[in-house]
Structure 1
Amino acid sequence: MKILATLQHNDIAPRFDLATEVLIARIVRGRISGEPRTVLLPGPGSDELCSLIIREEASLVICGGIEEAHFQYLVWKKIEVIDRVIGPADLAIAQAITKQLRPGAIVRAIGRLETKRSVAS
């Protein structure tokens, strides 16, 4: 299985047609196999991006907003699309691998908030 995430810097691109690069990860037995690779796009454009997705044989695309026509085209090609995702691409891919990523998700690292209590003497 291959997951392709549309990027703008290290985050999911806010719009499919504005992606400047993509991150492609190969998944084997629920884990990333090898090093994910980044592909720089020659320019923004939905048609070229759809062609790349088909050529790469991606089975899952993670993106921000996407036009309905391109969404339907990818689904027709039997490619799962999780759209309207916001946040870091690596965390989105990790959630997709564990089947936790949903359309419209805001992905963020969950950290602990540590507070110190002062004790009055």
Structure 2
Amino acid sequence: MSGHRVLIALRGDEVAWRFDKTAEALVCDIADSGEVTSRAEIIFARSSAEDLCEYVLAHGIDTVVAGGMEEEYYHYLRWKRVEVIDNVAGELAPVLERLARGRLSSGDILFATGGA
């Protein structure tokens, strides 16, 4: 299978500030070309890092994007060979665009500039 599947923990239209405090996620398939080939918003019954981790493993997620993440879950996902890009803050559109281009890094802060 080419490309990869990503899960972005959400709070509204932004990356969730805490992995364990969100009940929303966006799951996308990204082709090797950088094209987002599918996207689905997932709503969980409760905010639970355990539920998110279980979903990630059950659905073949390759990469997880989130704000803060407890070390226990970070190391668990890495142990299960899931790439974790954490400490990300920003609006979904620029985060997804940078992720699709393979240029999203832990610690990136991506909010739209201007406006008010």
Check whether TM > 0.5: yes
Q: Which runs of 5+ in 1 are unaligned?
A: 114-121
1:74 equivalent in alignment to 2:105:
no
Report which of the two has the higher share of strand.
Answer: 2
Alignment equivalent of 2:63, drawn from 60, 63, 66: 60
Q: Which runs of 5+ in 2 are unaligned?
A: none
- Kindly provide the CA deviation profile for residues 68-116 of structure 1, in whole angstroms up to 9, marking residues without a partner as x: 01000000111100001101123212111212211111012356x9xxx
Q: Which residue of 1 aligns with 2:36?
A: 32
- Kindly provide the CA deviation profile for residues 21-70 of structure 1, in whole angstroms up to 9, marking residues without a partner as x: 10001111321003x11000111011111001111211010000000010
Max radius of gyration: which structure?
1
**Matches for 1:100-115 after TM superposition, within 5 Å:** 100-109=103-112
Q: Which residue of 1 aligns with 2:26?
A: 23
RMSD between aligned residues: 1.5
- TM-score, normalised relative to structure 1: 0.85
Runs of 4+ in 1 over 3 A off after TM superposition: none
Does the 8 Å contact 1:24/1:38 carry over to 2? yes
